[in-house]
Amino acid sequence: MKRVSLGPLPIKVSRIGFGCAPVLGRVGKGDSLYAMGQAFDRGVTHFDVARSYGYGEAEGVLGNFVSDKRDKVTITTKFGLVPARSSKIVNFAKPVVRRLIQTIPALASKARRHSLKFSPTRSYDVPGARESVEKSLRSLKTDYLDFILIHDCENATEIGDELLLFLEKLKVEGTVAAWGLASTYDSAGAISALLPRKPDIIQFGRLFGNEMNSWDQELGETPRFLHSPFGGRNMSEVWCRLWKDKRLQHWAKTNDIEIENKSSLYRPLLESALYEAPHQILIASMFQEAHIDENTQASSNPKFESAQLKSFIAVLREILGDVHPKFVE
């Protein structure tokens, strides 16, 4: 797997990062550790986690995984969303629910709706940030973080100058290598344009429509991490619209590509994201071994030619051009 430099930052990161949002949610500890190992063995050395993932416990699982290979991996974690604690009963029930969902997939949306009751709360003050970073370091069993991101902030007024000074100080101390914003494309860009100190990186969900926005040029070379190459939370809408559209079928036919079912679309979706963002990092959740295999192959051994990917991207923009403003994470 190729690793890329991130602008002026002295760090190289694997082109595909492993997204840890499902850890201790839809995926249990053992399966999470197994998937992390499979991804690492195939060259994925970047891991994206957050204090809020897995009811505040996902970092601990990643910490177990990286404890003997910390110098070989890069880690992003985030602060600002304070994880809700799940009750003992919910913790006890989680493995049972996971097994039930494997047998009856239709239960997944019910379980998702229930998990929303445990939504994290937001806080972007310095004491909260300090406490969060300390917990992250402990859980991840490390004394430094590669990237620390302000999680899901929607408005520049929520970020005070003291917080920016705190983040810069973490850099000077060597506790973090870089800080940034993880939000929607529109919020991250608008906030960054207003801040007196610019973030080192910004992270947002993959855009399927028109990419350029007024702040895009202002950020210039600021490295971007793009998550959810398959649509993330908007996956069902993205897929429903793509799948039904004759323009997609026409693209497949003219390029002599067989699309027998929806899973045939993952590969062109990922390869087109890699093609569109040649110097950026893509973060995907991938817990099944076959998915890890396919996704790492997409980076090291692409199936599609540039012309095919270009026309695929054009089709995506036509069909999904208006999807991106709805990306709220």
Ligand X SMILES: NC(=O)c1ccc[n+]([C@@H]2O[C@H](COP(=O)([O-])OP(=O)(O)OC[C@H]3O[C@@H](n4cnc5c(N)ncnc54)[C@H](OP(=O)(O)O)[C@@H]3O)[C@@H](O)[C@H]2O)c1
Residues that bind ligand X (CB under 6 A): 19-21, 48, 152, 182, 203, 227-232, 263, 266, 283-288, 291, 294-295, 329
Q: Can you tell me the distance from the alpha carbon of 327 to that of 237, in angstroms, rounded to the nearest whole number?
A: 11
For residue 81, give the nearest of 137, 122, 115 by alpha carbon.
122
Query: Could you give the angle at the alpha carbon of 48 between the alpha carbons of 25 and 200, nearest 5°?
Result: 145
The torsion defined by the Cα of 286, 238, 14 and 25, in degrees rounded to 10, comes to: -40
Closest alpha carbon to 3 in 66, 62, 63, 74: 74
CB 39 within 8 A of CB 69: no
Q: Which is nearer to ligand X, 283 or 315 (CB)?
A: 283
Spatial contact of 226 and 6, defined as CB atoms under 8 Å apart: no
Residue located via tokens 């416990």: 57
Chain residue at closest Cβ approach to ligand X: 19
Nearer to ligand X, 204 or 251 (CB): 204
Of residues 11 and 59, the one with the C-beta less far from ligand X: 59
Shortest distance in whole angstroms from residue 215 CB to ligand X: 18
Q: What CA–CA distance (Å, rounded) separates 40 from 135?
A: 24
Shortest distance, position 291 Cβ to ligand X, whole Å? 4
Instruction: Tell me the CB-side half-sphere exposure of residue 55, using CA atoms within 13 A.
Output: 18
CB of 197: closest distance to ligand X in angstroms?
A: 20
Dihedral pair phi/psi, residue 213, rounded to 5°: -140, 170
Burial class from Cβ neighbours inside 10 Å (0-12, 13-18, 19+) for residue 254 reads exposed
Query: Which of 121, 137, 129 lies closest to 174, judged by CA?
Result: 137
Nearer to ligand X, 41 or 161 (CB): 41
Residue type, 123: S
CB of 115 to ligand X, least distance (A): 14
Measured in whole angstroms, how far is the alpha carbon of residue 31 from the centre of its chain? 19
Nearer to ligand X, 91 or 102 (CB): 102
Q: How far is the CB of 88 from ligand X (least distance, A)?
A: 26
Q: Which is nearer to ligand X, 137 or 284 (CB)?
A: 284
Tell me how far, at minimum, the Cβ of 89 lies from ligand X, in Å.
26
Looking at beta carbons only, is 86 or 187 nearer to ligand X?
Answer: 187
Q: Closest distance between ligand X and the C-beta of residue 266, in Å? A: 4
Q: 87 vs 121, which CB is nearer to ligand X? A: 121
Q: Report the distance separating Cα 158 and Cα 155, nearest Å.
A: 6
In the complex, least distance from residue 48 CB atom to ligand X, rounded to whole angstroms: 4
- Between 161 and 289, whose beta carbon lies closer to ligand X? 289
Shortest Cβ 151–ligand X spacing (Å): 6
Q: Which long-range contacts (CB under 8 A, 24 or more apart) does 97-102 make?
A: 98/26, 98/27, 98/28, 101/26
